[in-house]
Amino acid sequence: MGPPLRLPLCGLILSLPLTAAAWCEAPRKLERVATDDFRAGLARWRLEAEDTRAIVTAENGVLDIATPAGLSLWWREPLGGDYAIRFTAAALPAPASAGPHAGRISDLNMFWNALETDGGEPYPRSGKFAGYDGLPTYYVGFGANANTTTRLRLYDGSQRRLLAGFADASIAEPGELPMTPATRLLTNKPISVEIVSRQPTAADPIHLRWSADSNEVFTRADANPRLHGYFALRTTASRLQIRDFQILQCR
């Protein structure tokens, strides 16, 4: 357990302990720089929903997303430096408005380090998945395609590149591993998600870590990594509940 952290939150200074992380080497320490406890609406998020029947609420400590079609929810503040995003997520049966997809468990997805090709903030889109094809970003689809795939992709502005993935045999792409219990969603089972983005070093060239329940599902050590930009929760024909959203920086 690390030393107490003085955290500014809603005008108050709180003293909180913060656990050290292996990727944040001493003498630097993790600092919690932003949170959303989902008790005050969606002021810190920008919604893009393909279908007007989508219902998104943030109250009583829960971000509740129920959508019949594509939906992205963008955190309004850009992220950079050595940082981590942490939150807890649970997948529930998709709403009746999802039609043939009603009741399915699917698509705990996200974009991060997203910037337009000119380096600007992602411009508003309709929420349809294909509309993001030209947006340079990293993307993870966890339990996507009706809970049959978990994939890490890099969007480079012209194509979506599969970097690593897991898939059921019938739809697996070359090089993908079989799905496992650690890469599949379970109904209403909370998952602790952590995304780490950091400057690679000679001692630790890994710049990207994506973990579920402390299991590192994806890691990358690329020559030209994306290290800053915007984050969005992404889903389609699903229902998700998100809690305890926080952003930490290694300083």
Q: What is the pLDDT of residues 157-214, one digit of tens each?
A: 999 999 999 999 999 999 999 999 999 999 999 999 999 999 999 999 999 999 999 9
- pLDDT for residue 91: 98
Domains annotated on the chain, with CATH: 33-250 (2.60.120.200)
Tens-digit pLDDT profile for residues 142-158: 999 999 999 999 999 99
Per-residue pLDDT, averaged over 216-222, amounts to: 97
Tens-digit pLDDT profile for residues 21-65: 789 988 999 999 999 999 999 999 999 999 999 999 999 999 999
Residue 2: burial class (beta carbons within 10 Å; 0-12, 13-18, 19+): middle
Q: What is the mean pLDDT of the chain?
A: 92
Q: Name the amino acid, one letter, at 140.
A: V
Question: Which residues lie below 8 Å from residue 209, measured CB to CB, with a gap of 6+?
Answer: 23, 194, 195, 196, 216, 218, 219
Question: Which residues lie below 8 Å from residue 103, measured CB to CB, with a gap of 6+?
Answer: 93, 94
34-43: burial string, b at 16+ Cβ within 10 Å, e else = bbbbbeeebe
* Kind and range of the H or E run holding 66: strand 62-67
DSSP class of 77? S
